[in-house]
Amino acid sequence: MGHVDGERLRERIAVELARARARTTLLTEVVDDADLMRQHSPLMSPLVWDLAHVGNQEELWLVRDVGGREPVRCDIDELYDAFKQPRRDRPALPLLPPAEARAYLGTVRDKVHDLLDAVTFTERPLVADGFAFGMIVQHEQQHDETMLATHQLRSGPAVLHAPPPPEPSVRVGGEVLVPAGEFTMGTDTDPWALDNERPAHRVDLPAYVIDAAPVTNGEFAAFIAEDGYRAQRWWSSAGWVHRLREGLEAPMHWRRDGDEWSYQRFGRWSRVRADEPVVHVCFYEAQAYAAWAGKRLPTEAEWEKAARWDPATGRSRRYPWGDDDPTEAHANLDQRHLRPAPVGAYPAGVSPLGVHQLIGDVWEWTSSTFDGHPGFTAFPYREYSEVFFGGDYRVLRGGSFGTDRSACRGTFRNWDYPIRLQIFSGFRCARDARPDESHR
């Protein structure tokens, strides 16, 4: 890493750290202390836990590991260890009160700026290309998205505000054929890609067809209207058991208003907008809808080929639109808007094959369980990804309106239990190509 590049990287890291912290601050200053300490759902931590956990991870990885500095405080490591403290138990812990948590984050961040001034981006893997800093930026942004999901679950008057997303400017619908053949999945070169996105490897897929857009509220409402929730034949056996136990009848936060549907978005109720991607559905609901539609969910590899493969060059790109970082024109990211954008609102984000809104708007459930790519090695710690492999987790792709662009790429992988719907989860459908389609 040359001197000039090193300076540019230092600047980029400082900007990204500041952007993450501004978001954390916003999400935790719009509610009062009692609200920060409260658990809004057993699925979520009190916001003040996320807050101090963000600081603690930054201390562990940057201050102590990269910097080799004295601990800021080592009496709280256990409290903020996600593996030692299950979410439902977190409100009962002797957590740092909000003012103390904020002071802690400030002290840690000051030390990180010290460190950033002094660090050389050597070939030591943890610091090469600023990886550890990038990992911590993404960690904070991921918790910010989690805190945003907590905001969606809290009751009371609205405290978050944002302009509406853009209106559609192109007509998008139907399906796109992806021809059979190999493509490169994963990456070796994206400097801040996390361990589970690596290594790059070739995957050969038969021809398939994928929806040009995520499934919309209007489409999902048709499934409800045709009694999709009551017809066991559309549901997997695990899905049906879950649907009965939870009494699922519609996406989370929906309510019937006469003949129509309304939904609650960050404390405000409004009529459900038909052309917006559906959000807050669990994997089982997505799977049932797909079966009803005569389709299925895409595999993770199918999602990634549709998002990254460029038929003109045979190369896999970083994003559907190419290798450039996302801008406002490409995708609905960064909590810039507080809801998914209607289908057709991001023509500049289209993939070479004509698939829209793969990045941003809603996380998309895939049919794949979460596992390492062939040749996976845990880095820098097993607890980020590896301990979740081989479990019951399903992979989600593409990021949501609440995902920051630093934590979103064509290779980025999210995962959760199939019953989860408090995350900003939606989906699109796929199917095998028929012989008459694939030999044109």
* Residues that bind ligand AVJ in the complex, under the rule CB under 6 A: 139, 142-143, 146, 384, 414-415
Question: CB count, 10 Å around CB of 106?
Answer: 12
Q: Is 90 annotated as a binding residue?
A: yes
Residue 199 preceded by cis peptide, ω within 30: yes
Of 243 and 373, which CB lies nearer to ligand AVJ in the complex structure? 373
Q: CB-wise, 139 or 330, nearer to ligand AVJ? A: 139
Question: Shortest approach of ligand AVJ to residue 279 CB, angstroms?
Answer: 16
What is the closest distance, in whole angstroms, from the C-beta atom of residue 131 to ligand AVJ in the complex?
16
- How, if at all, do strands 425-426 and 363-369 pair? parallel
Residue 12, annotated as binding a ligand: no
Q: Where are the alpha helices (DSSP H) in 230-309?
A: 237-246, 283-292, 300-308
- By the 10 Å C-beta count (0-12 exposed, 13-18 middle, 19+ buried), 204 is classed as exposed
- Is residue 88 marked as binding? yes
Q: Which is nearer to ligand AVJ, 150 or 367 (CB)?
A: 150
Q: Is 53 annotated as a binding residue?
A: yes
Position of minimal CB gap to ligand AVJ: 142
Report how far apart the first and last C-alpha atoms of the chain are (Å, whole number): 49
Phi, psi (deg, nearest 5) at residue 240: -65, -45
Spatial distance between the Cα atoms of 24 and 300, rounded to a whole number of angstroms: 30
Shorter beta-carbon distance to ligand AVJ: residue 243 or 413: 413
Q: Which tokens sit at 275?
A: 């052309």
Q: How far is the CB of 386 from ligand AVJ (least distance, A)?
A: 12
* Nearest to ligand AVJ of 56, 287 (CB atom): 56
CB of 423 to ligand AVJ, least distance (A): 8
- 3-class SS of residue 277: strand
161 annotated ligand-binding residue = no
Dihedral pair phi/psi, residue 364, rounded to 5°: -110, 120
Q: Is 21 annotated as a binding residue?
A: no
Compute the least distance from the CB of residue 267 to ligand AVJ, in Å. 23
For 279, phi then psi, to 5°, come to: -140, 160
The annotation places the binding site for Fe cation at 53, 139, 143
The annotation places the binding site at 53, 87-90, 139, 143, 416, 420
The annotation places the binding site for gamma-L-glutamyl-L-cysteine at 87-90, 416, 420
